Amino acid sequence: MARVTTAAKVGIFTVVTAGAGLLIYRFVHQGGGPGDGYVVYALMDDAMGVARHSRVRVAGIPVGSIESVRLEGDRARVDIRIDDDVALYEDAAVAKVSSSLLGEYFLRISPGTEGRERLQDGDRIHVVEEGTSTDDIMKEVAAIARDVRAVSQSLAATVGSDEGRENLKDTLENLARVTEALNQTVRENRESVRNILANVERLTERGGPEVERILENVRVSTNEVRTLLAQGAAPGEESGEVRQIVERVNRASESLENALEDIESISARLERGEGTLGRLTKDERLINEVEGITESVGEFVGGLSRIQTIVNLRTDYQFLTSTVKSFVEVRVQPQEDKYYHVELVNDPRGYTLIEQIDVTSTNPNDPNQYREVRTTTTNRFRFSLQFAQRVGPFWGRFGIKESTGGVGLDTLLFDDRFELRQDLFGFGEVVLPRWRVSLGYEFVRRLWLLGGVDDILSGDRRDYFIGLQLRFNDRDLKTIIPFASVP
């Protein structure tokens, strides 16, 4: 009976052991069998420490296991079996997480965003977060250790030498002296510091009520302003001054907003190149044309501003004929060294025209052919139109002089206040051309005294004259015109 009992005990123990083993095997391989869940995979650069059949967790809860780990190309392919009730989406992520410093790892999965496309059996998890391995940590620790060693060596080389020890000793001695001096200062001024604190305390005690009254006044003023702003106007009465100001500010802000909207609209049109200004800011060709026109107008206006107009009013008295000769001259001077000369002359000699006529006669008392020379003198104005160019103190002129061709040479000296003028003209009018020489001196500003000889080459027509000339320019006219009376 004892043997049967022992055999029964052994049998029961064997059955229990086999059942426990079966239970442990089923627990380890739970969800790992074919058709249990679905399989996804991830490609990892480093799968060290990831073991087959190890658990896969989401938020620390097991949701599957590693089906297999194998090499695919130069990366590790990890197949993961996930429970059917756990959904993974296309932005899911997997990370290798260290569970201890002994190199044990498990896979942590982030399911992704709900509502996106769900992963199916055989799909890939594209987002892989590579964790820091123990070797990486050890490498970082080694690098830190090298830096600490370098610092300690530098400190040892600095402080460990005799010079470093002396410097450190001097520094400590200086610190001790400074501390002692500070203590001495505090001891010497202890009474002053006590008096200062006492004064501050008395001021605080005395000023406390004043501060309270000030705060009370501020509080009352604040309440009054709040009440004034909160109250509306009584029926039939206009709003208070503060409310009117607030209303005006509101209207001004609305007007400002409308103006800003208009400005924004205009700016948008300019940015799009609409309108004249928009095209002007966008069209490079138009901009270049406008710049060219502006430069041309600037040059033209600048040239006009540099043009100077000089007016001469002159009267000569001729001694031999006892007549008066008058001149009105206008000079247009665009530059300092050139001018255009226009002149109108009232000459008492008039204008002499010589005509040569060939006559064929049938009169027996006259030759068959003869030539008549007729001289006609008319009392009319003469005019001059000449161009002048300056070289040093000399002005050379050529053109029309008193209705005939002529040239002239002027010499200016003593800051252009002394003038020697020579004119040669009248070619074809008489046998000899007319040569006039005159001297002029500006004895008063703008007023000239003149004298000279006219028609020097002709003995019977030669005459002597003296005269006055008033010369002024456009700047003088600008000065005079504002004071002229306007009817």
Return the CATH number at 420.
Answer: 2.40.128
pLDDT at 126: 86
pLDDT at 129 (0 to 100): 81
Q: Which residues of 46-69 are buried (b: 16+ CB within 10 A; e: fewer)?
A: ebebbeeebebebeeeebbbbbee
What amino acid occupies position 373? V
**Does residue 468 surpass a pLDDT of 90?**
yes
Token pair listed for 351: 């204008």
Answer yes or no: do 49 and 69 share one domain.
yes
Asked if the structure places residue 330 within a domain, the reply is: yes
- 190-226 pLDDT, tens per residue? 787 788 888 877 777 777 777 778 888 888 887 777 7
Residues 39, 147, single domain; the answer is no
Distance, in Å, from the CA atom of 344 to the CA atom of 381, rounded to the nearest integer, reads 7
pLDDT digits (tens, 9 = 90+) for 51-66: 788 888 888 888 888 8
440 and 319 belong to one structural domain: yes
Which domain range does residue 124 map to?
31-131
Do 398 and 476 belong together in one domain?
yes
Q: What is the per-residue DSSP string for 150-185? A: HHHHHHHHHHSSHHHHHHHHHHHHHHHHHHHHHHHH
Per residue in 121-150, is it b (16+ CB within 10 Å) or e — as a string? Answer: eebebeebeeeebeeeeeeeeeeeeeeeee
pLDDT(450) > 80: yes
C-alpha distance from residue 84 to each of 64, 67, 167 (Å): 9, 15, 74
Mean pLDDT of 320-329: 90
Q: Is residue 151 part of a domain?
A: yes
Mean pLDDT of the residues in the chain: 79
* Cβ-based neighbour number of residue 44 at 10 Å: 20
**Domain termination site, one of 114, 131, 148:** 131
- Same domain for 455 and 423: yes
CA distance 180 to 173: 10
The pTM assigned to this predicted structure is 0.36
Count Cβ neighbours within 10 Å for each residue of 247-257 and write b for 16 or more, e otherwise. eeeeeeeeeee
Query: Are both 182 and 318 inside the same structural domain?
Result: no
Number of domains the chain contains = 3
Domain boundary among 94, 114, 131: 131
Residues 127 and 137 grouped into a single domain? no
Question: Bigger pLDDT: 172 or 162?
Answer: 172
Rounded CA separation 40/125 (Å): 7
Same domain (yes/no): 145, 121: no
Under DSSP, is residue 62 helix (H, G, I), strand (E, B) or coil? strand
Q: Is residue 63 part of a domain?
A: yes
More confident residue, 317 or 46: 317
3 state SS of 329: strand
Q: For 388-420, b where at least 16 C-beta lie within 10 A, e where not — what string?
A: bebeeeebebebbbbbbebbbebebeeeeeebb
Domain assignment present for 441: yes
Instruction: Pick 21 or 415 by higher pLDDT.
Output: 415
Residues 144 and 173 in one domain: yes
Cα 95 from Cα 405, distance rounded (Å): 110
Q: Mean pLDDT over residues 401-419, rounded? A: 90
**Two structure tokens written together for 34:** 């074919």
Q: So what's the pLDDT on residue 486?
A: 40
* Confidence at residue 96, expressed as pLDDT on a 0 to 100 scale: 82
How sure is the predictor about 162, in pLDDT bands with cuts at 50, 70 and 90?
confident
Residues 6+ apart with CB under 8 A from 120: 38
Residue 485: per-residue pLDDT: 45
CA distance 326 to 349: 12
pLDDT of res. 138: 76
| Residue 94 maps to a domain | yes
Most confident of 152-161, 277-286, 334-343, 361-370: 334-343
Is 77 within the bounds of a domain?
yes
pLDDT at residue number 484: 42
Burial of 434 (0-12, 13-18, 19+ CB in 10 A): buried
With respect to residue 316, please indicate whether it lies within any of the assigned structural domains.
yes
Of all residues in the chain, what percent carry a pLDDT higher than 70?
Answer: 80
**Whether residue 436 sits in one domain with residue 339:** yes
Confidence label for 465 from pLDDT (cuts 50, 70 and 90) = very high
Query: Which residue did the predictor score with more confidence, 268 or 385?
Result: 385
d(CA 223, CA 461): 112
Sign of CA dihedral 371, 377, 378, 380: positive
Same domain, 126 and 138: no
Residue 392 pLDDT > 60, yes or no?
yes
85 pLDDT more than 90: no
Whether 317 and 342 map to the same domain: the answer is: yes
Cα within 13 Å of Cα(107), Cβ side: 36
Tens of pLDDT along 105-129? 778 888 888 888 888 888 888 888 8
**Domain presence at residue 196:** no
